[in-house]
Amino acid sequence: MNDITVSSPATVSNVVCGFDCLGFALDQPFDKLNIRKADEKGISIVNNDAFGLPTDPQMNVAGVAVSEMLRVAGIDQGLEITSTKSIKPGSGIGSSAASSCGAVVGVNELLGLGFSKGELVEFAMHGEMLASGARHADNAAPCIYGGFVLVRSVDPLDIVELSCPALWATVIHPQIEIKTAEARAILPKQVPLSSAVRQWSNLGAFVAALSSGDLDLLNRSMEDVIVEPVRKSLIPHFDEVMKAGRSAGAIGGGISGSGPSMFLLAENENSARLIEQAIRSEYSATGIEFNTYVSGIKSGGVSIL
Amino acid sequence: MNDITVSSPATVSNVVCGFDCLGFALDQPFDKLNIRKADEKGISIVNNDAFGLPTDPQMNVAGVAVSEMLRVAGIDQGLEITSTKSIKPGSGIGSSAASSCGAVVGVNELLGLGFSKGELVEFAMHGEMLASGARHADNAAPCIYGGFVLVRSVDPLDIVELSCPALWATVIHPQIEIKTAEARAILPKQVPLSSAVRQWSNLGAFVAALSSGDLDLLNRSMEDVIVEPVRKSLIPHFDEVMKAGRSAGAIGGGISGSGPSMFLLAENENSARLIEQAIRSEYSATGIEFNTYVSGIKSGGVSIL
């Protein structure tokens, strides 16, 4: 095998009450990455899209993730990574994780390195560190594992795959820029114990509801009393989108990642499409450009094409 | 039917990472309550034990819980409640909840009132309010439902029964007094967001581990970075008990309620008995009197005898 092509999914992290630990993978949108063995040593990056991401492998999230992987494996095989991204950088649905995870899964398969999914997440986190300055796995873990994933701990990495019913998601991406640094800076350093208790009670209930398939409980537990009240100020018309989505039948929803994308969960595709109509109608009135996606929850993570 | 006798279980609340929301019921110890229809109106309380609890029904947790229940039902049937307690008041294993829950379940059955379990927990919470000054359900809910129970919300009351494997618990009750007010006063009003994230990541993982029966994950998630570090100072030799219990095979453990009791979870009875030996040996050296209990997790809550 001389080359391999993978499909790497968008992911929603910071799922409502699961700030900094809970994420899930989407069937749509996804990036494609082709990885080819090269005669020349080193990693070269080719961007087959219009996003203008860095081609210096040490400044590119896929590049640094694969570099770390080859270093640990003790291999100096030359590689050319051609990236065809559909997930817009800065959209809040795991664009950087899709690049770094797609690359490490592809290289692992192409070179037969045999790293585990957990190890691949560790490598991808080097890309996340480059992209955001923080060592976090809440996009990379669902991107590689698929489904709903809880990151119990980053050091040491402890990833929990959650059982869940077949759910759908509607995502809306307003074409505005939110600086990750700003989204982080406005978070409180300290939170009231009573709010923290409410948040973890909701998260416990959310995990239980996913496991039992109790959609009413899922609905009641999709409440974020800590992060959303602060960050929603960065996202125009957040409350209106949530209200319209819930009126159209959404189980619940919130900010995807640190925004600007928002997501709503639905019990089936039909419901997700009705929610899409409702929030498109709501957002069209704002004058802000936006994209929407309707997607099943992807099982299995990055896939080899 | 002129009278009824119920068995009402001890409960462990504030289960490690589940402060103020997570509890479970024990097979041992338990209180017995006999409730008899009386010709005279009003509630009379008879204490068939040496704990010296109030017999004025408005000062007695069972009395106030049943009073509220009769008021809502619009019934003025006279009742005599005879309580034979084994669960020592102030032990931290839900003594007041056992009294109020046993009474309301018994009266509900005796008079055929048809209240739901959730409504019975609401009535029992009037007893908890009298006992602790706080409207909380994390002992009353597992006492009435049995098993592991998560209280997602108190207002409105939202109780989640968690699926879990057959587990055992070892409890040690040092015979010291901890004032509930003091145990509450030393808690921080504000907590670092990073600690809160760690706590809810652990609770999410704990619920997932109960559901999947993954005891290794249960072990890793039994970590409390917020309440235990503060409250353990009130409990002599807490760290030594936890260490001895874990060395003897415990899955994990922590403070029961607001103490002074401590508990450790075990995967079977044999393991729970080995843990009991280990912590008895540890605590015997302290010179503090103590009791221990070894118990399965009770399913089904208060039972009619």
Residue whose token pair is 């899409």: A276
Cβ distance B202 to A152 less than 8 Å, yes or no, reads yes
For the residues B94-109, what does the mean pLDDT come to? 98
pLDDT of residue A288: 97
pLDDT of residue B133: 86
pLDDT of residue B270: 98
Active site residue A128: yes
Query: Which residue in A has a C-alpha nearest to residue B187's C-alpha?
Result: A193
For the residues A206-212, what does the mean pLDDT come to? 98
- Residues in chain A with CB shorter than 8 Å from the CB of B212 are 163, 211
pLDDT at position A159 over 80: yes
B200, B214, B215, B230: best to mutate for the A interface, most A CBs within 10 A: B200
Q: Is A162 helix (H, G, I), strand (E, B) or coil?
A: strand
How far apart are alpha carbons B87 and B139 in whole angstroms?
A: 13
Average pLDDT, chain B: 97
B136, B149, B160, B212: best to mutate for the A interface, most A CBs within 10 A: B160
Residue whose token pair is 């936006």: A290
Q: Are A144 and A109 in contact (CB under 8 A)?
A: no
pLDDT of residue A164: 95
pLDDT of residue A135: 87
- Residues in chain B with CB shorter than 8 Å from the CB of A148 are none
Which residues, listed in sequence order, are joined to residue B149 by a DSSP beta bridge? B23, B161
- Residues in chain A with CB shorter than 8 Å from the CB of B18 are 200, 204
**B55, B84, B180, B292: the active-site residue:** B180
Q: Are A242 and A236 in contact (CB under 8 A)?
A: no
Q: Are B183 and B234 in contact (CB under 8 A)?
A: yes
Cis peptide bond upstream of A156, omega within 30: yes
- In the 8-state DSSP scheme, what is residue A260? S
DSSP string, A2-60: -EEEEEEEEEE-SBTTBTTTEEEEEEEEEEEEEEEEESSSSEEEEE-SSS----STTTS
pLDDT tens string A70-124: 999 999 999 999 999 999 999 999 999 999 999 999 999 999 999 999 999 999 9
Q: How confident is the model at residue A182 (pLDDT cuts 50, 70, 90)?
A: confident
pLDDT at position A181 over 90: no
B21, B138, B152: best to mutate for the A interface, most A CBs within 10 A: B152
pLDDT at position A246 over 80: yes
Cis peptide bond upstream of B89, omega within 30: no
pLDDT of residue A1: 86
Exposed / middle / buried, residue B206 (Cβ in 10 Å: 0-12, 13-18, 19+): buried
Instruction: Show Cβ contacts of residue A74 under 8 Å, excluding neighbours closer than 6 positions.
Output: none
Buried b (16+ CB within 10 A) or exposed e, A209-231: bbbbebbebbebbbbbbbbbeeb
Q: How far B217 CA sits from the closest chain A CA (Å)? A: 8
pLDDT at position B193 over 90: yes
- In the 8-state DSSP scheme, what is residue B224? -
Pick from B153, B193, B204: which is nearest to A203 by CB?
A: B204
A200, A214, A215, A217: best to mutate for the B interface, most B CBs within 10 A: A200
How far is CA B257 from its chain centroid? 7
Domains, chain A, with CATH or none: 3-162 (3.30.230.10), 168-296 (3.30.70.890)
Residue % of chain B over a pLDDT of 90:
96
How far apart are alpha carbons B175 and B8 in whole angstroms?
A: 22
Query: Which residue in A has a C-alpha nearest to residue B206's C-alpha?
Result: A204
Cβ distance A150 to B199 less than 8 Å, yes or no, reads no
- A→B contacts (Cβ < 8 Å), by residue, are 17-22, 150-153, 158, 160, 162-163, 187-193, 196-209, 211-212, 217, 220-221, 226
Which residues, listed in sequence order, are joined to residue A38 by a DSSP beta bridge? A78
Cβ distance A150 to B201 less than 8 Å, yes or no, reads yes
Q: Are B263 and B281 in contact (CB under 8 A)?
A: no
> Furthest-apart CA pair in chain B: how many Å?
60
Active site residue A180: yes
Query: Which residue in B has a C-alpha nearest to residue A22's C-alpha?
Result: B201
Pick from B203, B217, B220: which is nearest to A200 by CB?
A: B203
C-alpha distances in Å from residue B155, one per residue of A195, B103, B158, B159: 14, 23, 8, 11
pLDDT at position A144 over 80: yes
Instruction: Show Cβ contacts of residue B286 under 8 Å, excluding neighbours closer than 6 positions.
Output: B174, B236, B237
Q: How confident is the model at residue B134 (pLDDT cuts 50, 70, 90)?
A: confident
For the residues A18-33, what does the mean pLDDT come to? 98
How far apart are alpha carbons B213 and B207 in whole angstroms?
A: 10
pLDDT at position A180 over 90: no
Pick from A158, A197, A201: which is nearest to B220 by CB?
A: A158
For the residues B229-233, what does the mean pLDDT come to? 97
Q: How far B142 CA sits from the closest chain A CA (Å)? A: 15
For the residues A131-156, what does the mean pLDDT come to? 95
Cβ distance A196 to B163 less than 8 Å, yes or no, reads no
Residue whose token pair is 């899709």: A98
Pick from B21, B197, B198: which is nearest to A204 by CB?
A: B21
pLDDT of residue B194: 97
> What angle in degrees, to the nearest 10, is found between the helix axes of B238-247 and B269-284?
140
Instruction: Show Cβ contacts of residue A127 under 8 Å, excluding neighbours closer than 6 positions.
Output: A61, A62, A64, A65, A96, A97, A99, A100, A101, A103, A140
Q: How far A22 CA sits from the closest chain B CA (Å)? A: 8
Average pLDDT, chain A: 97
- The phi-psi region of residue A222 (left if phi > 0; otherwise alpha if psi is between -120 and 50; otherwise beta) is beta
pLDDT at position A297 over 80: yes
pLDDT of residue B1: 85
Q: Which amino acid is at A156?
A: P
pLDDT at position B180 over 80: no
Instruction: Show Cβ contacts of residue A207 under 8 Å, excluding neighbours closer than 6 positions.
Output: A150, A162, B204, B207, B208, B211
- Residues in chain A with CB shorter than 8 Å from the CB of B193 are 187-191, 226
Q: How far A191 CA sits from the closest chain B CA (Å)? A: 5
**B11, B68, B122, B128: the active-site residue:** B128
For the residues B80-105, what does the mean pLDDT come to? 97
For the residues A278-298, what does the mean pLDDT come to? 97
pLDDT at position B33 over 90: yes
For the residues B108-134, what does the mean pLDDT come to? 96
Q: How far B110 CA sits from the closest chain A CA (Å)? A: 32
Residue B259: Cβ within 10 Å count:
24
pLDDT at position B181 over 90: no
Q: Count the helix, strand and coil residues of chain A and give each as a percent rounded to the nearest 5.
A: 40, 25, 35
The ipTM is 0.96
pLDDT of residue B179: 81
pLDDT at position A179 over 90: no
pLDDT at position A134 over 90: no
- Residues in chain B with CB shorter than 8 Å from the CB of A197 are 19-21
